[in-house]
Chain A
Amino acid sequence: MAFMSTIRLAEIAHARSGDKGNHANIGVIAYTAAGFEFLGRYLTETRLAEYLLPLRPRQVERFEMPGILAYNFLLRDVLAGGASRSLRTDNQGKVLSAAVLELPIPKPPNLAEMQRPDGATNQRT
Chain B
Amino acid sequence: MLIRVGNGAGFWGDNLDAPRLLAERGGLDYLTLEYLAELTLSILAHQRSRSPDGGFVADFLTVLESLGPVLAAQPKLKIVTNAGGMAPVACARQAAQILVRAGLGTTRIAAVSGDDLLPRIDDLLAAGETFSNLDTGQPLGDVRPKIASANAYLGAAGIVEALAQGARIVITGRVADASLTVGPAIHEFGWSSSDWDKRAAATVAGHLIECGAQATGGMFSGWTPEISLQNLGYPIAEISEPGHFTMTKPAGTGGAVTVDTVAEQLVYEIGDPRHYLTPDVDADFSHVQLVQSGPDRVDVRGAKGNPAPPRYKVSMAYRDGYMASGTLVVCGDQAAAKARACGELILSRLKAAGVNLERTHVECLGTGDSLPGVWKRNDDALEVVLRVSVHDPSREAVERFVREFSPLVGSGPPGVTGYTGPRPKPYPVFAYWPTTVAREKLQHTVEVREAEKWG
Write the residues of chain A forming the contact surface with B, with a CB cutoff of 8 angstroms. Answer: 10, 14-16, 18-23, 25, 27, 29, 51-55, 63-68, 70, 72, 74, 76-77, 80-85, 87-90, 95-99, 101-102, 116, 121-125
Contact = CB atoms under 8 A, between A and B. Distances in A.
B256 interface: yes
A83 B258 CA distance: 30
B269 interface: yes
B264 A83 contact: no
A74 B271 CA distance: 6
A21 B38 contact: yes
A6 to B, nearest CB: 14
A12 B386 CA distance: 35
Given A123-B258, A123-B259, A87 B264 contact: no
B371 interface: yes
B124 interface: no
Contact of B260 (A14, A22, A74, A96): A14
29 contacts: A14-B220, A15-B264, A16-B264, A21-B432, A22-B135, A27-B268, A53-B373, A54-B372, A65-B273, A65-B286, A66-B286, A68-B263, A68-B267, A70-B263, A74-B271, A74-B272, A83-B37, A85-B429, A85-B432, A87-B323, A88-B370, A97-B221, A99-B375, A121-B258, A122-B222, A122-B227, A123-B259, A123-B260, A124-B260
A95 B374 CA distance: 11
Given A21-B135, A95-B370, A84 B269 contact: no
B432 A84 contact: yes
Interface string B287-302: 1111110000000001
B363 A89 contact: yes
B274 interface: yes
Interface string B368-398: 0111111100000000000101110000000
Contacts of B390: 87
Contacts of B263: 27, 29, 68, 70
Contacts of A16: 219, 221, 264-265, 267-268
A90 B387 CA distance: 12
Interface string B425-439: 000011110100000
Nearest to A76: B135
Given A16-B219, A74-B272, A89-B363, A96 B265 contact: no
A84 B431 contact: yes
A101 B371 CA distance: 14
Contacts of A77: 135
B430 A84 contact: yes
B286 to A, nearest CB: 5
Nearest to B227: A122
Nearest to B373: A54
Given A14-B221, A72-B267, A67 B286 contact: yes
B431 A25 contact: no
Contacts of B285: 65
A10 B363 CA distance: 26
Contacts of A121: 226, 256, 258
Contacts of B429: 84-85
B283 interface: no
Given A67-B290, A70-B266, A102-B375, 4 more contacts: A29-B267, A68-B289, A70-B267, A122-B260
Interface string B65-88: 000000000000000000000000
Given A51-B374, A121-B258, A89 B387 contact: yes
Contacts of A72: 267, 270-271, 273
